[in-house]
Structure 1
């Protein structure tokens, strides 16, 4: 890590939650969060002015997701994350596993498609660009489990256990770029599994559960590898500033415990969301079947009864 980075973080007092939650702006994430909230809010306002309904839960979920990113990246948690492996790991887990779930449950793409006006014949507006992106080959590839699961796993092993991590940790920009990567990986991993928005890859509910559980054991193993290590495994955190009063190996062990425990939290949330979505889709199908029965006087049941009667007549 360069001396400039050390100078910025050397005077940090020992970590407490109170110290960690002091405001400390990270310009890129602050701007991105404010733009995200403004776009979502204006789209929602447009829908409501038109008299359309939008589930309150979705809006709450999206706002919580953005606030979670702000809390993780625009407080002193981000400063501590530069010098403490355990705090960095909390950031990583929130940004890659909790924030994406909340943002996806906010259904921002669906909201945009409903709020954006349709361009005139032969014209291309923002809505048409968004639809083209949703149907693009690029999105088909990056949301396919053959891509998302390996990238999800490589974000742990390929980053932390190679020199790439130390070079990114050499600057605040590198650290922020790593967090952007974690957020994007989380979004593309969870979108096909439990996102509400339309997407190119949307398997059945059982397949989605299998996709979820395909990635999680690797997460747990990564945490266990950090906890079991007999020496510091990441150069960036080998020499924590004396003012923190921590020892590198015990901090790494804590980071491993956080990674291991955290892999269970999103699994439970996603599983509950999936079961709820499954239940809702079954209900919708049942309602459709009931409406069809009302329209045709339950033709299917009448045909089945006639079939039973013909069997009985043949038996006699």
Structure 2
């Protein structure tokens, strides 16, 4: 069976980073990425023309997120990934753990809700459909940790350690479908954790950190299992082309190392983002409290001082020895 789906895998020269980053556009991901950039750009332009601000940082995050998808899927990494487990694992980790975080930091849902026009009374437009989807029972289920954590884990163990992976790798459609699945799983896993866009499941900051760390050890265990295996674990990579000059077990061990190391990268990225959001949230709360104090002459503090004074007075009135 030709696992390449491209027809070029049998004569690939040995892998180097330069060769891996040569352009080799995958039409589905190329068109999808360009469409995502065009829609996001339309939203930003619409807001700016209206006189509204949109943080430049969010635009940068989204564009870089789309670029990571293009690097994973529209370069020779995609060709080498068909015949080298280690390169495929780089693709998988980028598209399931790096791209989703960057795309979500771009807040595309918030942008859409602000940029899309409100339909007339009794009419349903794209904005109304998006709101209905956000509030749907389906979204409540797919963004809940009871769903997201198991599917995040199953995407590793249920795919690579069963015949499903070989079946999907056997066709171009199957391979694209698998990559789309990785991206989608990453998005629904990190969406509630990042908390930039509105969503049905919005836990507090401590719960978000717990959700993040609940999934990551399984990535590390998966990587270690590959590194320690004494025989090939995935049939699709058992017979690499001789032109690559690679050892199957060494390549599998490298794939395991990549899976293990990558579990740390998103943890650090998300943790930095969460701490920053938490800090910003506290700052906003402090500013709101200060503004409220300026408006009402700090009624809350005055009330608290009065409460302390009443406790003190009550203590003085109480007879000694009681």
Give TM-score, length-normalised by structure 1: 0.97
Distance 1:66 1:292 in 2: 42
Residues 88, 268 of structure 1: alpha-carbon distance in 2 compared, 3 angstrom cutoff: same
Deviates further, 170-179 or 100-109 = 170-179
2:200: which partner in 1? 200
What per-residue deviation string (whole Å, max 9, x for no partner) do you get for residues 267-315 of structure 1? 0000110111111111111111111211211112112222333344441
**Equivalent residues of 1:140, 1:200 under 8 A apart:** yes
What per-residue deviation string (whole Å, max 9, x for no partner) do you get for residues 38-60 of structure 1? 00001110000111100000000
What per-residue deviation string (whole Å, max 9, x for no partner) do you get for residues 51-109 of structure 1? 11000000000000001101110011000000000000000000000000000000001
2:268: which partner in 1? 268
Distance 1:275 1:5 in 2: 43
- Alignment partner of 1:308 is 2:313: no
Distance 1:127 1:243 in 2: 52
Distance 1:175 1:3 in 2: 9
Distance 1:165 1:26 in 2: 20
The secondary structure found in structure 1 opposite 2:8 is helix
Q: After TM superposition, list the pairs within 5 Å mapping 1:179-218 onto structure 2.
A: 179-218=179-218
**Equivalent residues of 1:226, 1:256 under 8 A apart:** yes
Deviates further, 82-91 or 174-183 = 174-183
Distance 2:208 2:310 in 1: 43
- Kindly state the Cα deviation for residue 5 of structure 1 after the two structures are TM-superposed: 4.2
**Equivalent residues of 2:9, 2:80 under 8 A apart:** yes
- Kindly state the Cα deviation for residue 124 of structure 1 after the two structures are TM-superposed: 0.5
The secondary structure found in structure 2 opposite 1:69 is helix
- Kindly state the Cα deviation for residue 4 of structure 1 after the two structures are TM-superposed: 7.2
1:142: which partner in 2? 142
Gaps in structure 2 of 5+ consecutive residues: 318-322
Gaps in structure 1 of 5+ consecutive residues: none
Deviates further, 203-212 or 2-11 = 2-11
2:320: which partner in 1? none
The secondary structure found in structure 2 opposite 1:206 is helix
1:41: which partner in 2? 41
What per-residue deviation string (whole Å, max 9, x for no partner) do you get for residues 118-148 of structure 1? 0110011110000001101001000000000
Distance 2:187 2:135 in 1: 17
Give TM-score, length-normalised by structure 2: 0.96
1:72: which partner in 2? 72
**Equivalent residues of 1:89, 1:255 under 8 A apart:** yes
The secondary structure found in structure 1 opposite 2:11 is coil
1:108: which partner in 2? 108
2:152: which partner in 1? 152
- Alignment partner of 1:86 is 2:73: no
